[in-house]
Each structure stands twice: as C-alpha cells, then as structure tokens.
Amino acid sequence: MWRIIAIIIFKITGWKARSYIPTDIKKAVMVAAPHTSNWDFIYARAALFILRVPVKFTIKKEWVKFPLSLILNPLGALPIDRQKKGMSRTSTVDKMVDIFNQEDHLIILVTPEGTRKYVEKWKSGFYFTAQRANVPIILGYLDYKAKEAGIGAVFQPTGDRDKDVEEIKAFYRTKTAKFPEKGVR
C-alpha cells in the first residue's frame, strides 16, 4: 500500500526515484541529505518505498505509541529511548550498534544535520555508528532542482572522520536542497 501511495505522490509531483542499493549490502547507515524541509522525509521515504529499500529511521520512543504507531511503524520507525537520564550521544551510538548486531538485514536512515536549519558541522553519530557496526554509509539524496530522490555512492568509513565527512559532504554539495541557503556548504 505505501509503495502505491509513493508512486502516486511522485507521479503527481513530477519526482523521479533513481538508483538501487547493491544487492550484497545487507546492513548500512543511510545518510539522508540535504535536510532543510519537512517535505524531505516525505520525498525520501516515498523514494525508498518505490525503490523497495526497507529502511528504518530512529525516532523518540514516545512518538511510537498508539495511534501514531499505526502510521510510524509501517514507515520504519525505530524507537530509541533518548530520555534516559545521563544518555549521551555515545550511548545512542552504542544502542544503534547493538541493534545492528541483532539484525541480519538493517538499513537505518539518518539526517546528520540533525535539524532543518543550516549547520556548519554535522552530528557525527551516523559516522561512528557505521564505523563501530562495521557497515557502509549509503548516500541517500534529494535534489529539488532535478526533482530526483535516490541513492548515490556507498561509502566505507576509513577512520579519518573529518576527511570522510568532507568527502560525503562534497557529494551533497552537488544536490539542491528545497531551501538552498540551508543546504550543505
């Protein structure tokens, strides 16, 4: 049902879904960027339904309760308890690594900007999660100028976070955000 809705959304709006994840990739962190609008989730999730990519996305566990759970769970919600006293970014990474270790197939969608506003420095949890779980980073993108959503390169973290993140950002600089002034620079 969600795939049919996604196809209709893309047909009405003139968007296209491009590329596929190589079939040998069973686990990965997928970067979703640029993230400058609430529309980004709709187009990104729709594209991934069209491309038949079974992604999960992290969300505060408080959001995944009835009745919202009826919508969020089929969309791929992965509830994370972020309210625990003393929970740091490291423990969120630990939790995500544990989830990867428990699953045979898992792709987690992450927005490293962490907000729809422009940020100079991305949050690093996506990188450390991929590195510690020993999974690649897939570059999922939206390009509002081309009206295209898809999957770019598959990137294996080298351990040099600053260099790797700069290389990943270079890919996103070729994509036009809904609000370009808030996009990756």
pTM of the complete model: 0.87
What pLDDT was estimated at residue 116?
A: 62
CA 155 remoteness from chain centre: 14
State the alpha helices, DSSP H only, in the chain: 2-13, 39-50, 69-75, 89-102, 125-133, 161-172
Check residue 59 and give left, alpha or beta (phi > 0: left; psi -120 to 50: alpha). Answer: beta
Distance between CA atoms of 128 and 96, rounded to whole angstroms?
10
What pLDDT was estimated at residue 102?
A: 95
158 Cβ neighbours under 8 A, 6+ residues apart: 164
> Mean pLDDT, to the nearest integer, of 57-73?
86
Coil, strand, or helix at residue 69? helix
